[in-house]
């Protein structure tokens, strides 16, 4: 039996754009070298062009051997790479097809491995998938959703709703978070959890992100002066070098003071190269506030807090959900609140649904809360009504 792996390297494009071809080439060379260290003599590795590689694993008895190889590949390429002086951490998505089950011709195996790769990316980045029947259909559905999303930006079926964030002590609204809503003509409401990843993969997120930014700034300019607006910024938007410029443009067009705009970013931004950190500093210089979103999920290392002086930490709702339970959630929240207080950062708890959660968060010293207990995300007109009465 054979396994054909289709490997797509993350970060290559952003590294290439931000740091130049020499560093990009160095990165791919480094990755190729590390790939080879995982292979046995009879296996084959080749670059398919761009930032894609294929590996053909020979003489396997079952797929567990392939899974083991994939694990090895991940641990090899996830080590930071020194590329002409830049320490770069990269990662990959991998699609796998097996011969003879998924095909006998190399062409077909590669095509199926590519479909599996497409599926892997659909799961979010940094994962692998084996080819399965039906992946073809799903890939088609995804592509058509991508086309429809492109259309939706221009035809008005996208809306921003706003979820109030309140002071945990007195319940006063301090800011509202802009959350995208897509009213699909046939499928009804589609969750951003479904379409944001598609927009990120297709690059559409840049356009979409700018659209939300403009809409949110324009809307917030009609709110009372003390209420800020929070906008989510995808790690992909950090790869385009014009983010700070785009933010400045949205502020200028709306007349909203920079201090009333808060950008929410995730840790994924900070594990990239230093270019992202530069972009954060540029944004800070504009005077906008920066919040670290979904804190406690993903890579979640406290060391990220030292990489940039955030204005706010948003504690992920998984901790809030379990806060009254027997696990470590409440001690984790306590630790985060303490660290934040020591470095002049605010803390906002996400997904607060019950009085009990609110009370515990209050006792732990959390500053703000957001969640269904107070209000879900609501249309702009309703927010205005809430704020202006
Ligand atoms: P997020 O940034 O963590 O946003 C909070 C999510 O939690 C929202 O889901 C919100 O509706 C939901 N939520 C709020 N309170 C509660 C609660 O009490 N209980 C529960 N169970 N959920 C609550 P939503 O609107 O579906 O958005 C999902 C994610 O999509 C967001 O997570 C964010 O990562 C992304 N997203 C939404 N709009 C945008 C956008 O304009 N740009 C980008 N880049 N991402 C966006
Ligand atoms: Ca790639
Ligand atoms: Ca958010
Ligand atoms: Ca969040």
Atom 19 in ligand 1: which residue has the minimum CA distance?
Answer: 351
Q: Six-digit token pair at 216?
A: 């949110």
- Using only C-alpha atoms, the chain has a radius of gyration, in whole angstroms, of 23
pLDDT of 315 over the 70 cut: yes
Atom 45 in ligand 1: which residue has the minimum CA distance?
Answer: 232
User: Beta strand 312-315 with 289-295: parallel, antiparallel or unpaired?
Assistant: parallel
Q: How far is the CA of 58 from the centre of ligand 1 (A)?
A: 44
pLDDT of 125 over the 70 cut: no
Please give the Cα distance from 161 to 197 (Å, whole number): 19
Residues 6+ apart with CB under 8 A from 198: 142, 145, 146, 149, 204
- For residue 50, what pLDDT is reported? 82
Q: pLDDT tens for residues 211-230?
A: 999 999 999 999 999 999 99
* CB neighbourhood size of 381 (10 A): 9
Ligand 1, atom nearest to 179 Cα: 38
Mean pLDDT of 160-165: 98
Q: How far is the CA of 201 from the centre of ligand 2 (A)?
A: 9
Architecture of domain 2-133: 2-Layer Sandwich (3.30)
* CB neighbourhood size of 171 (10 A): 11
Choose between 194 and 70: higher pLDDT: 70
- For residue 174, what pLDDT is reported? 98
Please give the Cα distance from 366 to 119 (Å, whole number): 39
- For residue 136, what pLDDT is reported? 85
Atom 32 in ligand 1: which residue has the minimum CA distance?
Answer: 193
Atom 2 in ligand 1: which residue has the minimum CA distance?
Answer: 232
Q: Ligand 1 — pocket residues by CB below 6 A?
A: 163, 178-180, 191-193, 196, 209, 212, 232, 234, 293-294, 317, 350-353, 370-372, 376-377
Residue given tokens 């708890």 in the structure block: 349
Q: pLDDT tens for residues 254-309?
A: 999 999 999 999 887 876 567 788 889 999 999 999 999 988 776 556 777 878 88
Q: Directed axis angle between helix 205-220 and helix 243-254, to 10°? A: 30
| Backbone torsions φ then ψ of 89, nearest 5 degrees | -100, 130
**CATH for 143-388?**
3.20.20.450
Answer positive or negative: Cα dihedral of 252, 253, 257, 259. negative
* CB neighbourhood size of 91 (10 A): 15
pLDDT level of residue 37 (50, 70, 90 thresholds): very high
Q: Which segments of the chain belong to CATH 3.30.70.270?
A: 2-133
Atom 37 in ligand 1: which residue has the minimum CA distance?
Answer: 179
Ligand 1, atom nearest to 205 Cα: 44
């Amino acid at each position: 039996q054979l396994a054909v792996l289709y490997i797509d390297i993350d970060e290559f494009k952003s590294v290439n754009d931000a740091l130049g071809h020499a560093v990009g080439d160095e990165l791919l060379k480094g990755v190729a070298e590390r790939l080879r260290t995982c292979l046995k003599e009879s296996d084959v590795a080749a670059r398919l062009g761009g930032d894609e590689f294929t590996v053909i694993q020979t003489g396997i008895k079952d797929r567990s051997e392939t899974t083991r190889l994939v694990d090895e590949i991940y641990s090899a390429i996830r080590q930071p790479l020194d590329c002409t002086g830049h320490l770069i951490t990269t990662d990959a998505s991998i699609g796998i097809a097996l011969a003879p089950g998924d095909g006998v011709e190399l062409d077909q195996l590669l095509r199926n491995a590519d479909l599996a790769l497409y599926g892997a990316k659909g799961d979010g980045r940094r994962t692998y998938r084996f080819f399965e029947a039906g992946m073809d259909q799903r890939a088609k559905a995804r592509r058509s959703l991508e086309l429809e999303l492109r259309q939706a930006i221009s035809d008005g079926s996208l809306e921003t709703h706003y979820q109030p964030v309140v002071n945990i002590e007195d319940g006063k609204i301090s800011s509202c978070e802009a959350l995208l809503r897509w009213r699909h003509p046939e499928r009804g409401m589609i969750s951003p959890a479904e379409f944001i990843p598609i927009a990120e993969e297709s690059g559409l997120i840049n356009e979409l992100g700018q659209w939300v930014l403009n809409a949110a700034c324009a809307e917030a300019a009609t709110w009372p002066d003390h209420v800020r607006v929070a906008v989510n910024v995808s790690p992909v938007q950090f790869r385009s070098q014009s983010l700070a410029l785009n933010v400045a443009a949205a502020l200028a067009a709306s007349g909203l003071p920079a201090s009333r705009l808060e950008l929410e970013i995730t840790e994924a931004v900070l594990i990239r190269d230093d270019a992202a950190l530069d972009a954060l500093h540029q944004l800070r210089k504009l005077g906008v506030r920066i919040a670290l979103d979904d804190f406690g999920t993903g890579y979640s290392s406290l060391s990220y807090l030292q990489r940039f002086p955030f204005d706010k930490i948003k504690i992920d709702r998984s901790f809030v959900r379990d806060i009254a339970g027997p696990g470590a959630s409440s001690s984790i929240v306590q630790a985060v609140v303490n660290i934040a207080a020591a470095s002049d950062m605010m803390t906002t708890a996400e997904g607060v649904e019950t009085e009990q959660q609110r009370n515990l968060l209050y006792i732990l010293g959390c500053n703000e809360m957001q969640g269904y207990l107070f209000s879900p995300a609501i249309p702009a007109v309703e927010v205005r009504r809430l704020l202006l009465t």
